[in-house]
Structure 1
């Protein structure tokens, strides 16, 4: 039976006092999408608000990004349904791409938290990359504990943020994960780094998106 992947993406196109344009970072969207597509998985894209979900168009010369832009991905991003009321039935894994958008509308979003918690507690794979793990920081399980507590996780580091969007974000993702009891680790800025802890997969930065997808596939195919 075909595996089915849920992409949960941001609806936020603007962040910070300078109104910086953002969205889901193209690389973090395209690389996992194309990896899952190559495996023959079904992929649904839902956004926080529904409607057109913004894409932060970076690295346009990248061949995988180009493949995504020439495929069905952009059409799906323009016609998303909202995560409000979304049922996890039938999904094998959930993936949250980064970009700065999730910091705006996925850090403390009840429907997003519900879906991530339900996916995890129902034996599904939960994954996120770069700023995407902000969606995990405040997720609580049925016993009241934070999903990331005691888990090995990564995400966009303070060292990376200092050279990227320090003035645009109101908190550091690294600090949030540590405050929630996660065992947070990172490597040198902008280098590929992803972690699997059971059914939880996280990646540090854009270069880690492919690795996250490969780790999710490895779990699903095992």
Structure 2
């Protein structure tokens, strides 16, 4: 049976007091998408509100980014279903790409949190990269514990945010994860770093998106059919 991956993406096109343009970072969409597609997985893209989902930092000198925009990836981003209409049945994993958008509409979003809790508690793989782990920070499981509590996780670091979007975000992702019990770690700014803790996979920054996808694939393939 073919594996099936859900990309859950932001609908936020701006963030912060100066309405900084944002969305899902293209690299964090395109590289995992290509990795999952190459593996033969089916991929659906749902967004918070449905409709066209915004994309940020369109860097076309990257051939994988260009391929995503000229292939079915862009088509899917232009016409997403809302997570309000989502059933997790049939999916093997969920992936949340970053960009600043998730900070705006996924941090305190009950449907987002319920979907991620349901994925995790159903034995499925939960993954996110860069700012995407904001979606994980407030997820509470049925036993009342935070999903990230006691887990080894990473995400966009305070050091990276200092020179990127500190004035645009209302909190530090690193702090959110730590305050809810995560064993947070990071490497030097902008270097690839991804962690798998059981069925929870996180990546630090855009350079880590490929590594997150590879770890998700490794978990799914090790589980067999």
Instruction: Give the alignment's TM-score, normalised by structure 1.
Output: 0.99
The residue that corresponds to 1:216 in the other structure is 216
Deviation at 1:91, TM superposition (A): 0.2
Q: Deviations over 1:151-173 (max 9, x none)?
A: 00000000000000000000000
The CA distance in 2 between the partners of 1:38 and 1:194, in whole Å, is 20
The residue that corresponds to 1:92 in the other structure is 92
1:71 equivalenced with 2:38 (yes/no): no
Query: Aligned pairs, how many?
Result: 222
1:18-167 residue pairs with structure 2 within 5 A? 18-167=18-167
SS in 1 for 2:84: coil
The CA distance in 2 between the partners of 1:85 and 1:140, in whole Å, is 21
Runs of 4+ in 1 over 2 A off after TM superposition: none
* Kept after mapping to 2: 8 A contact 1:4/1:41: yes
Unaligned 5+ segments in structure 2 are none
SS in 1 for 2:175: helix
Deviation at 1:70, TM superposition (A): 1.1
Unaligned 5+ segments in structure 1 are none
> Which sits farther off after the overlay, 62-71 or 147-156?
62-71
Q: Deviations over 1:172-198 (max 9, x none)?
A: 000000000000000000000000000
The residue that corresponds to 1:195 in the other structure is 195
The CA distance in 1 between the partners of 2:35 and 2:106, in whole Å, is 24
Structure 1 vs Structure 2 CA RMSD: 0.6
Deviation at 1:60, TM superposition (A): 1.7
The CA distance in 2 between the partners of 1:85 and 1:51, in whole Å, is 12
Instruction: Give the alignment's TM-score, normalised by structure 2.
Output: 0.98
SS in 1 for 2:113: helix
The CA distance in 2 between the partners of 1:126 and 1:60, in whole Å, is 29
The CA distance in 1 between the partners of 2:133 and 2:204, in whole Å, is 9
